[in-house]
């Protein structure tokens, strides 16, 4: 292994640390365009939307708990897994579905609501519910299309490319700053 930093996964396998944004594929560029067009639609339609995020914890080593973070193909940085709430779904059902779709894990027990946040950006009126997930099964795997990478990071050694909102949510979760109302 080179002298690049490595990250030990839940299974004990070493993974090279990320050294910057991944090159964008054609599909990644199309997803980024769709993301921007969604912002334009929000400016025009001003819909009220609901989303979910999951703080998925691996506490198998109590001395070094870890959190699962993902990198999207269409937006930079490391984020909490999650997405939109569909019609007829509860917040918990939506969070479980998004986690299953994005990283292949089953959040099958011990979910706990953590906070609800308002996000008013680019004309959007989003509200995001964040859940703490301490019980799950499976092995995280990025789909390679929407999600480029999914990895556990020790809570005391988070990646430098952490999205600002994800950093705030994790500091709140760890009790290092008060819980905010806005994303």
Q: How far is the first Cα of the chain from the last one, in angstroms, to the nearest whole number?
A: 39
Of 85, 93, 25, 82, whose CA–CA distance to 55 is shortest? 82
Integer Cα distance of 68 and 180 in angstroms: 22
Q: How big is the chain by its Cα radius of gyration, in Å? A: 16
pLDDT at 97: 97
For residue 85, the 8-state DSSP code is P
Q: What's this model's pTM, rounded to 2 decimal places?
A: 0.76
| H or E element, residue 173 | helix 164-173
CA dihedral 1, 67, 94, 45 (to 10 degrees): -90
Label residue 24 exposed, middle or buried (CB < 10 Å: 0-12, 13-18, 19+): middle
Q: Where is pLDDT greater, at 145 or 115?
A: 115
Integer Cα distance of 109 and 98 in angstroms: 15
Band of residue 111 on the pLDDT scale cut at 50, 70, 90: very high
Dihedral angle sign, alpha carbons of residues 136, 65, 19, 30: positive
Q: What stretches of 101-146 adopt beta strand conformation (E)?
A: 106-119, 125-137
| H or E element, residue 164 | helix 164-173
* Average pLDDT of the segment spanning 47-58: 93
pLDDT at 24: 66
| H or E element, residue 68 | strand 66-72
Q: Where is pLDDT greater, at 167 or 11?
A: 167
């Amino acid at each position: 292994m080179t002298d690049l930093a490595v990250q030990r996964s839940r299974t004990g396998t070493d993974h090279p640390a990320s050294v910057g944004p991944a090159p964008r594929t054609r599909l990644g560029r199309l997803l980024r365009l769709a993301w921007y067009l969604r912002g334009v639609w929000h400016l025009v339609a001003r819909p009220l939307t609901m989303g979910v995020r999951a703080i998925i914890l691996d506490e198998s080593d109590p001395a070094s708990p870890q959190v699962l973070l993902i990198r999207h193909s269409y937006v930079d940085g490391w984020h909490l897994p999650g997405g939109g709430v569909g019609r007829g779904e509860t917040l918990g059902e939506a969070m479980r579905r998004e986690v299953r779709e994005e990283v292949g894990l089953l959040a099958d027990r011990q979910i706990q609501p953590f906070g609800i946040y308002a996000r008013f950006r680019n004309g959007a009126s989003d509200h995001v519910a964040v859940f703490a997930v301490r019980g799950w099964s499976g092995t995280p795997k990025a789909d390679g299309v929407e999600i480029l990478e999914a990895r556990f990071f020790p809570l005391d050694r988070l990646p430098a490319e952490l999205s600002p909102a994800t950093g705030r949510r994790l500091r709140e979760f760890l009790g290092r700053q008060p819980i905010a109302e806005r994303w």
